[in-house]
Amino acid sequence: VGRSSCTTTFSVLEPATFVERLEPSYLIKKGEYVQLECKVTGTPEISISWFKDDKEIQDSSLFSLQVFKFDSSDAGEYQCRVTNDVGSCVCRMPPYPLFEYLVCTDAHQSSVLSIEPPQFVKRIENISSLRGGTIVFQATIKGSMPITVSWLKDNDDIVEDDNTKMTFLNNVATLMIRGIEVKHDGKYFCQAKNDAGIQRCSALLTVKGLFSFLSPS
Protein backbone atom coordinates (compact mmCIF):
# COMPACT_ATOMS: atom_id res chain seq x y z
CA VAL A 1 0.00 0.00 0.00
CA GLY A 2 1.52 3.32 -1.01
CA ARG A 3 1.22 6.73 0.63
CA SER A 4 1.07 10.17 -0.85
CA SER A 5 1.08 13.61 0.67
CA CYS A 6 0.80 17.19 -0.38
CA THR A 7 1.39 20.52 1.26
CA THR A 8 -0.33 23.85 0.82
CA THR A 9 0.93 27.26 1.76
CA PHE A 10 -1.55 29.92 2.82
CA SER A 11 -0.62 33.57 2.50
CA VAL A 12 -2.35 36.05 4.77
CA LEU A 13 -2.93 39.33 2.99
CA GLU A 14 -2.97 42.45 5.13
CA PRO A 15 -4.85 45.56 4.00
CA ALA A 16 -2.92 48.79 3.67
CA THR A 17 -3.16 50.72 6.95
CA PHE A 18 -1.36 53.69 8.49
CA VAL A 19 1.24 53.10 11.20
CA GLU A 20 1.88 56.83 11.55
CA ARG A 21 -0.67 59.32 10.30
CA LEU A 22 -0.23 62.86 9.09
CA GLU A 23 0.49 65.33 11.86
CA PRO A 24 -2.16 67.93 12.70
CA SER A 25 -1.92 71.19 10.80
CA TYR A 26 0.09 74.07 12.16
CA LEU A 27 0.85 77.64 11.19
CA ILE A 28 3.75 77.96 8.76
CA LYS A 29 5.61 80.79 7.10
CA LYS A 30 5.49 81.75 3.49
CA GLY A 31 8.51 80.34 1.67
CA GLU A 32 9.12 77.56 4.20
CA TYR A 33 9.90 73.98 3.24
CA VAL A 34 7.12 71.58 4.27
CA GLN A 35 7.17 67.79 4.20
CA LEU A 36 4.09 65.67 4.83
CA GLU A 37 4.90 62.06 5.63
CA CYS A 38 3.01 58.93 6.61
CA LYS A 39 4.12 55.38 7.43
CA VAL A 40 2.13 52.43 6.10
CA THR A 41 1.96 48.68 6.67
CA GLY A 42 0.29 46.01 4.55
CA THR A 43 0.89 43.42 1.88
CA PRO A 44 2.73 44.77 -1.21
CA GLU A 45 2.15 46.13 -3.76
CA ILE A 46 0.90 49.27 -2.02
CA SER A 47 -0.03 52.28 -4.12
CA ILE A 48 -0.23 55.76 -2.64
CA SER A 49 -2.01 58.92 -3.75
CA TRP A 50 -1.98 62.44 -2.34
CA PHE A 51 -4.88 64.89 -2.53
CA LYS A 52 -5.29 68.58 -1.78
CA ASP A 53 -8.85 69.80 -1.23
CA ASP A 54 -10.11 66.49 -2.70
CA LYS A 55 -8.10 66.93 -5.93
CA GLU A 56 -5.33 64.45 -6.68
CA ILE A 57 -1.81 65.88 -6.77
CA GLN A 58 0.22 64.87 -9.81
CA ASP A 59 3.56 63.03 -9.42
CA SER A 60 2.82 62.03 -5.83
CA SER A 61 3.53 58.31 -5.71
CA LEU A 62 5.91 58.53 -2.72
CA PHE A 63 5.17 58.14 1.00
CA SER A 64 6.10 61.78 1.58
CA LEU A 65 4.91 64.97 -0.08
CA GLN A 66 7.28 67.92 -0.28
CA VAL A 67 6.47 71.58 -0.77
CA PHE A 68 9.70 73.51 -1.19
CA LYS A 69 8.37 77.06 -0.95
CA PHE A 70 5.02 77.15 0.78
CA ASP A 71 2.70 79.86 -0.58
CA SER A 72 -0.89 80.94 -0.02
CA SER A 73 -1.96 78.72 -2.92
CA ASP A 74 -0.62 75.69 -1.01
CA ALA A 75 -2.88 76.23 2.02
CA GLY A 76 -5.72 73.71 2.26
CA GLU A 77 -6.73 70.23 3.41
CA TYR A 78 -4.35 67.41 2.50
CA GLN A 79 -5.02 63.69 2.53
CA CYS A 80 -3.04 60.54 1.83
CA ARG A 81 -4.72 57.43 0.37
CA VAL A 82 -3.04 54.00 0.34
CA THR A 83 -4.38 50.96 -1.51
CA ASN A 84 -3.45 47.32 -2.07
CA ASP A 85 -5.31 44.22 -3.29
CA VAL A 86 -7.07 43.83 0.09
CA GLY A 87 -8.33 47.32 0.77
CA SER A 88 -7.60 51.02 1.09
CA CYS A 89 -7.24 53.59 3.84
CA VAL A 90 -7.38 57.38 3.87
CA CYS A 91 -5.68 59.76 6.28
CA ARG A 92 -6.87 63.36 6.34
CA MET A 93 -5.18 66.41 7.79
CA PRO A 94 -7.07 69.64 8.51
CA PRO A 95 -6.20 72.73 6.45
CA TYR A 96 -2.64 74.05 6.54
CA PRO A 97 -2.90 77.75 7.39
CA LEU A 98 -0.39 80.39 6.35
CA PHE A 99 0.59 82.99 8.92
CA GLU A 100 3.18 85.22 7.25
CA TYR A 101 2.91 87.19 4.04
CA LEU A 102 5.64 89.03 2.17
CA VAL A 103 4.74 92.69 1.83
CA CYS A 104 6.63 94.76 -0.76
CA THR A 105 7.42 98.31 0.38
CA ASP A 106 9.38 99.48 -2.69
CA ALA A 107 11.42 98.12 -5.57
CA HIS A 108 14.40 97.19 -3.40
CA GLN A 109 12.97 96.41 0.02
CA SER A 110 10.39 94.11 1.48
CA SER A 111 9.08 93.36 4.95
CA VAL A 112 7.30 90.43 6.52
CA LEU A 113 3.88 91.00 8.01
CA SER A 114 3.06 88.49 10.74
CA ILE A 115 -0.57 87.40 10.83
CA GLU A 116 -1.71 86.45 14.32
CA PRO A 117 -4.68 84.07 14.48
CA PRO A 118 -7.70 85.08 16.59
CA GLN A 119 -7.49 84.34 20.29
CA PHE A 120 -10.12 84.83 22.98
CA VAL A 121 -8.84 86.98 25.83
CA LYS A 122 -12.27 86.82 27.47
CA ARG A 123 -14.77 84.11 26.52
CA ILE A 124 -18.54 84.29 26.61
CA GLU A 125 -20.12 82.98 29.82
CA ASN A 126 -23.28 81.04 30.68
CA ILE A 127 -26.37 83.18 31.22
CA SER A 128 -29.78 82.54 32.82
CA SER A 129 -32.71 84.78 31.90
CA LEU A 130 -36.42 85.05 32.53
CA ARG A 131 -38.76 85.14 29.56
CA GLY A 132 -39.11 88.66 28.23
CA GLY A 133 -35.69 89.69 29.50
CA THR A 134 -32.59 90.96 27.69
CA ILE A 135 -29.26 89.13 27.57
CA VAL A 136 -25.79 90.13 26.39
CA PHE A 137 -23.02 87.72 25.43
CA GLN A 138 -19.64 89.43 25.27
CA ALA A 139 -16.14 88.28 24.30
CA THR A 140 -12.79 90.03 23.96
CA ILE A 141 -10.68 88.92 21.00
CA LYS A 142 -7.12 89.66 19.95
CA GLY A 143 -5.35 88.90 16.69
CA SER A 144 -4.44 90.48 13.38
CA MET A 145 -7.15 92.47 11.68
CA PRO A 146 -9.39 92.18 9.85
CA ILE A 147 -11.19 89.73 12.12
CA THR A 148 -14.66 88.56 11.15
CA VAL A 149 -16.96 87.65 14.04
CA SER A 150 -20.08 85.55 13.67
CA TRP A 151 -22.53 84.10 16.17
CA LEU A 152 -24.25 80.73 16.10
CA LYS A 153 -26.93 79.00 18.14
CA ASP A 154 -26.78 75.22 18.20
CA ASN A 155 -24.48 75.48 15.11
CA ASP A 156 -27.00 77.58 13.14
CA ASP A 157 -25.99 81.10 12.09
CA ILE A 158 -27.70 83.89 14.00
CA VAL A 159 -29.20 86.66 11.86
CA GLU A 160 -29.81 90.18 13.10
CA ASP A 161 -33.37 91.42 13.49
CA ASP A 162 -35.23 93.99 15.56
CA ASN A 163 -34.49 92.09 18.79
CA THR A 164 -31.06 90.64 17.94
CA LYS A 165 -28.01 92.88 17.54
CA MET A 166 -24.35 91.96 16.93
CA THR A 167 -21.36 94.30 17.17
CA PHE A 168 -17.57 94.03 17.07
CA LEU A 169 -15.87 97.20 18.26
CA ASN A 170 -12.45 97.73 19.85
CA ASN A 171 -11.82 93.96 19.94
CA VAL A 172 -15.06 93.34 21.86
CA ALA A 173 -17.68 91.11 20.25
CA THR A 174 -21.23 91.51 21.56
CA LEU A 175 -24.48 89.66 20.97
CA MET A 176 -27.60 91.24 22.50
CA ILE A 177 -31.02 89.59 22.42
CA ARG A 178 -34.13 91.37 23.66
CA GLY A 179 -37.49 89.79 24.42
CA ILE A 180 -36.10 86.42 25.46
CA GLU A 181 -38.38 83.47 24.67
CA VAL A 182 -38.19 79.74 25.28
CA LYS A 183 -36.87 79.28 21.73
CA HIS A 184 -33.73 81.19 22.69
CA ASP A 185 -32.72 78.49 25.16
CA GLY A 186 -29.62 76.63 23.92
CA LYS A 187 -25.88 76.68 23.24
CA TYR A 188 -24.34 79.78 21.68
CA PHE A 189 -21.03 80.09 19.84
CA CYS A 190 -18.88 83.13 19.18
CA GLN A 191 -16.65 82.50 16.15
CA ALA A 192 -13.67 84.67 15.20
CA LYS A 193 -11.84 84.28 11.89
CA ASN A 194 -8.99 85.92 10.00
CA ASP A 195 -6.45 84.87 7.36
CA ALA A 196 -4.40 82.93 9.94
CA GLY A 197 -7.11 80.78 11.47
CA ILE A 198 -10.45 80.42 13.19
CA GLN A 199 -11.43 80.09 16.87
CA ARG A 200 -14.67 79.44 18.73
CA CYS A 201 -15.94 79.68 22.26
CA SER A 202 -19.35 78.68 23.59
CA ALA A 203 -21.77 79.26 26.45
CA LEU A 204 -25.29 78.25 27.45
CA LEU A 205 -28.38 80.43 27.66
CA THR A 206 -30.95 79.00 30.05
CA VAL A 207 -34.43 80.50 29.78
CA LYS A 208 -36.55 80.36 32.92
CA GLY A 209 -40.34 80.55 32.82
CA LEU A 210 -42.46 83.00 34.79
CA PHE A 211 -44.38 81.19 37.48
CA SER A 212 -46.68 82.50 40.22
CA PHE A 213 -47.52 80.53 43.30
CA LEU A 214 -50.71 81.09 45.29
CA SER A 215 -50.54 80.35 48.98
CA PRO A 216 -53.47 78.29 50.26
CA SER A 217 -56.21 80.40 51.86
Question: How many structural domains compose the chain?
Answer: 2
Question: Can you give the pLDDT at residue 71?
Answer: 75
Contact 172, 192 (CB under 8 A): no
Per run of 10 residues, the mean pLDDT along the chain (length 217 residues) is 59 72 64 78 82 76 76 77 81 61 42 69 95 96 91 92 96 97 95 88 87 44
- 111 CB-near residues (< 8 Å, 6+ apart): 103, 105
Q: Which of 69, 103, 137 is the last residue of a domain?
A: 103
Same domain? 149 vs 202: yes
Q: Is residue 138 within 8 Å of residue 124, measured between CB atoms?
A: yes
What's the CA dihedral at 175, 179, 185, 187 to 10 degrees?
0
Residues 36 and 78 grouped into a single domain: yes
What is the pairing mode between strands 64-67 and 34-37? Answer: antiparallel
3-state DSSP assignment of residue 26 = coil
- Range(s) of the domain holding residue 86: 17-103
- Judge if pTM exceeds 0.75: no
Q: How far is CA 101 from the centre of its chain?
A: 21
pLDDT for residue 106? 46
Q: End-to-end alpha-carbon separation of the chain, Å?
A: 111
